[in-house]
Amino acid sequence: MINYRYLGNSGLKITELTYGNWLTHGSQVENEQATACVKAALDVGITSFDTADVYANTKAETVLGEILKGERRESLEIFTKVFWPTGPGGANDSGLSRKHIMESINGSLKRLQTDYVDLYQAHRYDHETPLEETMQAFADVVRQGKAHYIGVSEWTADQIRAGAALAKQLGFQLISSQPQYSMLWRVIEDEVVPASHESGVSQIVWSPVAQGVLTGKYKPGQAPPAGSRATDEKGGKKMIGRFFDNEVLLERVQKLKPIADELELSMAQLAVAWVLQNNNVAAAIVGASRPEQVHENAKASGVTIPAELMSRIDDALGDVVVRDPRQTVESNPTGRPS
């Protein structure tokens, strides 16, 4: 079964493997297959589910809500997010204004077929809305019982500190940050993680397997396997391109296989277990297009990687690891997307 961890400085426990439906439900995976994957997640003990209103332009929330509606609500932890455009993309259909937050939470609850979400997250930082307005709106969402806790995604260290301080003044908790994090992408380590420790925030990380690159299935000098994410024209190919096009990186990744073998893990399990060694990480988000992938990912829960092997992983990857904290700023919008 999957281990639980506390989320931030709160009493909320979530499963250290959280099932996410970005790039799958409502777009790449048929509903029948999506149902099988969610049921597999429940079977292995995953009770935490992450989605967002923007995923498949609201369809991902709808699919997840339909699948989970027969489950005991109190036994689940459901997360969703607000920021990116939904609907027709009108002037107020994105961002973190009070208007957009209030309308978005109502839409998400309807699609998810629930009275509340356990965690409501700011999907990015909104430079066009005063932070005070955003945090007051989140405070009201919590007081209205529509969300139990508030989190953020891809915020900088300074933004997390400012948001957490305002939340405290307004009488609620900012408890989570959802950044990209993997063996290959470590931009949160120098600034975001220390700021999060100070602020009572922990990480729910996405792409722990680096869009599949860390599975080892992409070999240097070879075409990607048929049916893999690198061949998916609906979005997967674009996301994985920056990793897949780097021949040196792909060669370094292959050096991880002996380490995985030593731990009797697959390379994907090693990658997920690796992010969970960071004590500021509460959960790794894992997705799936087949139930078998869920069962395989589950084996990463509870794994301890010895310090000597953690050092060997660093040696194997060397300078292909991205660490620059400025990447968080450079990869985020400076205004509201439309």
Active site residues: 55
Query: Closest Cα partner for 97 from 142, 158, 140?
Result: 140
* Residue 57: burial class (beta carbons within 10 Å; 0-12, 13-18, 19+): middle
- Judge residue 31's burial from the number of C-beta atoms within 10 Å of its C-beta, 0-12 exposed, 13-18 middle, 19 or more buried: middle
Tell me if residue 159 falls in helix, strand or coil: helix
Instruction: Give the length of the chain.
Output: 338
The C-alpha atoms of residue 81 and residue 235 are separated, in whole angstroms, by 20
Contact 172, 150 (CB under 8 A): yes
* Phi and psi torsions of 44, nearest 5°: -85, -5
Collect all residues with Cβ–Cβ distance below 8 Å to 11 and sequence separation of at least 6.
none
